[in-house]
Structure 1
Amino acid sequence: MTFPTLLLEIGNHNVEVAETLIGVGRFLLIFLAARTLAELMVRLQLPTILGELVAGVLIGLSGLHLILPPETGAELSNWFTSTVASLSSLSPSAVESIYIETFPNLQSVATLGLFALLFLTGLESELDELVAVGAQATTVAVTGVVLPFAMGTFGLLYLFHVPLIPAIFAGAAMTATSIGITASVFGELKYLKTREGQTVIGAAVLDDILGIVILAVVVAVAGGGALEMGPIVKLLIAAALFVALSLFLSRTAAPAFDWLLDRLKAPGEVVVASFVVLCLCCFAAQAIGLEAALGAFAAGLILSGSRHTHAIQETVKPLVSLFATIFFVLIGTSMDLSVLNPMDPANRPGLVMAAFLLVVAIIGKVAAGWTYVSKEKTNRLVVGLGMMPRGEVGLIFLGLGTQAGLLTPALEAAILLMVIGTTFLSPILLRLVLSREEKLAEQLA
């Protein structure tokens, strides 16, 4: 072996060492930070996704600069680059170049987490429950989508002069309702099987369907760079047909999936077969001009009618725990919370915008509790508050908007505060209202 060839091989080996250290180091930082903060949130009886988001903020652009998406343009922590450089015998500038080149690999893993999470959300959608409380749930859902969307979009357009596409996207982000958070709170308070609980869960399922359809259309329109009525109508029709077909297949194709699954013997058949359906739906959605995220949700809806739904959930949840954690942490790493500093006069319009979005997000969902007709006595405030948390669904919207480059730092931070605010407030207010109702019932008894 010649000396130049030896030097070349040594150089390639150093690059491989740096790539491995960067890749493993990023995963290590993400999971240590995320799990530490998630444990704290559990003890505070708050959703773990908030801990993952805060973890991203702490290690990202607004914190230690240990993990930074290249598009932020910020410099990595000297400690991180110098440590990797010394271990791989490369210069810090070479380490930064390798970091930027390999970052898309991490984003691909995060996207897999997003798809797995949306798949699980669709899988957990109880369509039979939606049918059981059909009229009330539909009215609550439609109102809970239309009011925040309209008030948020027009308010941003005319009060804050936000461009049309970002304003529509922010309005779309306000339509979501987190099934998981609401169901968890109702379950803890033994309120899930009541009429109010079933109405909220049914409405939340429909909310997610409507919200993700709107999201798919907005992101597709934004990618085209122009706002024309013809393409929008085509996308809406395509999205509606896609979801309708998914609901139809949940009744007709699920038995065929069960038949196939019963005949597969190799280990891992449940998760592999489920992910094949997931990939097919994502491919189909992208092929007709919709977001792959809608395909992931539709795949969950299709398999929600399977006899093996519980087994699928149990195999997918660990994947969500791993990969969706990366997705939420990466959202946090790109957040520039300096735009929320009230001491800087330039930030005050953004803070007013954040307060506006939070108020509209609360009013729009709480008002939905009064928009349906029922002969039975119903606690409409509980219904409205149950619709309020945006949770992981709101963060999914935010993450897609960030990836698509639709949001300014101020609007990004405003949406983040809206999601966090509604997610924190809803469980607290529900507990207060339901505890007071229990005390009144005990006094009357």
Structure 2
Amino acid sequence: MTLPALLLAVDSHQSEVAETLISVGEFLVIFVAARVLAELMVRLQLPTILGELVAGVVIGVSGLHLIVPPDTQAQLSAWSLSVLGSLSGLEPASVQDLYAETFPNLKQVSEIGLYALLFLTGLESELDELVAVGAQATTVAVTGVVLPFALGTAGLYYLFDVPLIPAVFAGAAMTATSIGITASVFGELKFLRTREGQTVIGAAVLDDILGIVILAVVVSLAGGGSFELAPLLKLVVAAGVFVAAALFLSRTAAPAFDWVLDRLKAPGEVVVAGFVVLTLCCFAAQAIGLEAALGAFAAGLILSGSKHTHAIQGTVQPLVALFATIFFVLIGTGMDLSVLNPMNPENHEGLIVAAFLLVVAILGKVAAGWSYVSKVKTNRLVVGLGMMPRGEVGLIFLGLGSQAGLLTKSLEAAILLMVIGTTFLAPILLRLVLGGQSGGPDLDPLAEIPT
């Protein structure tokens, strides 16, 4: 072997060692931090998801810089780069470049956690229960989209003199509801199958569909393109067809799935067959322009009538415990809390706008809890608070706005603070409102929560 070839082989080996160290180190840091904070939250009687988000903040761009999303322009801590560099034989700059290249893999793994969580949420939902609260969920979803969007856009445009397109974009970011965070909180509190829980989950799904439509319009306008009705109608029709197909299959597909599963003999047949349905639904949703997350929920709903539902739940829950943790921690790692510093004059405008957006974001969703008519007594505050967290969906909106160059630094900081505030407040407020109540496994699925 020639000397140049030998040097190339050595460099390649060092890069492989560094990539392995980075990947293993990421998982180690995430799981240890998440577990420590989750244990603390349990002892404080707070949802564990809050601990995972805080863990992300601690190890992310606002804390130790052990895990930093490349799109935040932040660097890994000098200590991390030095350790990884010395172990792999690479320069710190090379380690940082490798980290930026491998981070998308971590993000993809985290998305598996989100899809598994929503799949599990669908499995734990009953179609009859969702249909029973369908009218209420639709009203909650529409109100929870229209109020924050209208009030946020109008307030920014008229009160703060924000140009129309950035104001519309910020208003659109306020329409989001993080179905992942909502499902996690209700599942942990064992209120997922109450009337309130089913109303919120149904509304959150519709919220995502409405949010996608709004996002398509806003991105088109932001890109300088003219507004075209045909693509928008196509997207609306696609969403309607997808939801109708999911509802139809949830009534008819379970027996066929059971027939196939009963004839599989190789180990792991339950989880593999379930994930085949999950990936097919995610693929179908993404292919017609919807979010893959909606497909994951639809897959769970389709299999909720299977006689193997409990077995599927048992195999999926460990995957959720592992990979959904990564998803929620990564949300926290990208939150830059430096924008909260009132001592920095550059933050003042953003803090004022953020206070306005946060109030509107909270009131708009909470008001949605009073927007429906129901003959059964329900805790409307729980419904409104369940719709409140923006989470990863709000961050997606923010990221698109930043990439398009639509947002000033102050408006970008204000939207980020709105997302952070609603994401952290929702689990805390739900726990306070529900107190020591627990739905329990034998709770009537459509029972009310005492007010």
Q: TM-score, normalised by structure 1?
A: 0.84
Aligned 1:21-420 pairs, distance under 5 A: 21-133=21-133, 135-136=135-136, 138-140=138-140, 142-160=142-160, 161=162, 163-164=166-167, 166-174=169-177, 178-182=182-186, 184-185=188-189, 197-198=194-195, 200-221=196-217, 225=223, 226=225, 227-374=227-374, 378=377, 382-390=379-387, 394-401=390-397, 404=400, 408-420=412-424
Equivalent residue letter for 1:36: V
Equivalent residue letter for 1:384: L
Q: CA, structure 1 residues 313+28, in 2 after alignment: closer, same or farther (shift >3 Å)?
A: same
Alpha-carbon distance in 1 for matches of 2:30, 2:79: 16
Conserved? CA contact 1:130–1:202, under 8 Å: yes
Q: What is the deviation of 1:388?
A: 0.7
Alpha-carbon distance in 1 for matches of 2:89, 2:332: 31
Which runs of 5 or more residues in structure 1 are unaligned?
A: 435-445
* Alignment deviations for residues 191-227 of structure 1 (CA, whole Å, 9 cap, x no partner): x88xxx42x1231132122112123334545665445
SS at match of 1:290: coil
Alpha-carbon distance in 1 for matches of 2:63, 2:3: 45
Q: Percent identity?
A: 60
Aligned counterpart, 2:447:
none
Q: What is the deviation of 1:368?
A: 3.9
Which stretch shifts more, 323-332 or 355-364? 355-364
SS at match of 1:63: coil
SS at match of 2:316: helix
Equivalent residue letter for 1:329: V
Q: CA, structure 1 residues 174+113, in 2 after alignment: closer, same or farther (shift >3 Å)?
A: closer
Which stretch shifts more, 62-71 or 365-374? 365-374
Q: What is the deviation of 1:238?
A: 1.1
Conserved? CA contact 1:386–1:430, under 8 Å: no
Q: What is the deviation of 1:156?
A: 4.4
Conserved? CA contact 1:398–1:415, under 8 Å: yes
Conserved? CA contact 1:220–1:291, under 8 Å: no
Alpha-carbon distance in 2 for matches of 1:146, 1:412: 20
Equivalent residue letter for 1:181: V
Aligned counterpart, 2:10:
10
Q: CA, structure 1 residues 127+146, in 2 after alignment: closer, same or farther (shift >3 Å)?
A: farther
Q: CA, structure 1 residues 144+90, in 2 after alignment: closer, same or farther (shift >3 Å)?
A: closer
* Alignment deviations for residues 14-47 of structure 1 (CA, whole Å, 9 cap, x no partner): 1111111111111111111111111111111212
Alpha-carbon distance in 1 for matches of 2:41, 2:82: 33
SS at match of 1:10: helix
Q: What is the deviation of 1:137?
A: 5.3
Q: CA, structure 1 residues 366+22, in 2 after alignment: closer, same or farther (shift >3 Å)?
A: closer
Conserved? CA contact 2:152–2:167, under 8 Å: no
Alpha-carbon distance in 1 for matches of 2:3, 2:343: 60
Alpha-carbon distance in 1 for matches of 2:126, 2:155: 34
Alpha-carbon distance in 1 for matches of 2:258, 2:170: 43
Q: What is the deviation of 1:427?
A: 2.0
Conserved? CA contact 2:22–2:84, under 8 Å: yes
SS at match of 2:385: coil
Alpha-carbon distance in 2 for matches of 1:369, 1:71: 36
Q: CA, structure 1 residues 353+122, in 2 after alignment: closer, same or farther (shift >3 Å)?
A: farther
Alpha-carbon distance in 2 for matches of 1:245, 1:97: 44
Alpha-carbon distance in 2 for matches of 1:374, 1:98: 55
Alpha-carbon distance in 1 for matches of 2:56, 2:189: 25
Aligned counterpart, 2:427:
423
Equivalent residue letter for 2:386: P
Q: CA, structure 1 residues 146+361, in 2 after alignment: closer, same or farther (shift >3 Å)?
A: same
Conserved? CA contact 2:367–2:384, under 8 Å: no
Q: What is the deviation of 1:345?
A: 3.2
Q: What is the deviation of 1:134?
A: 5.2
Aligned counterpart, 1:442:
none
Q: CA, structure 1 residues 320+400, in 2 after alignment: closer, same or farther (shift >3 Å)?
A: farther
Conserved? CA contact 1:39–1:48, under 8 Å: yes
Q: What is the deviation of 1:61?
A: 0.9
Alpha-carbon distance in 1 for matches of 2:104, 2:351: 32
Alpha-carbon distance in 2 for matches of 1:203, 1:100: 40
Give the ranges of 4+ consecutive aligned residues of structure 1 lying more than 6 Å apart after TM superposition: none
Alpha-carbon distance in 2 for matches of 1:264, 1:159: 63
Conserved? CA contact 1:365–1:384, under 8 Å: no
Alpha-carbon distance in 1 for matches of 2:436, 2:152: 27
Alpha-carbon distance in 2 for matches of 1:42, 1:412: 27
Conserved? CA contact 1:361–1:418, under 8 Å: yes
Q: What is the deviation of 1:428?
A: 0.8
Which stretch shifts more, 309-318 or 128-137? 128-137
Q: TM-score, normalised by structure 2?
A: 0.83
SS at match of 2:125: coil
Q: What is the deviation of 1:371?
A: 3.8
Alpha-carbon distance in 1 for matches of 2:432, 2:380: 14
Q: CA, structure 1 residues 140+94, in 2 after alignment: closer, same or farther (shift >3 Å)?
A: closer
Which stretch shifts more, 345-354 or 310-319? 345-354
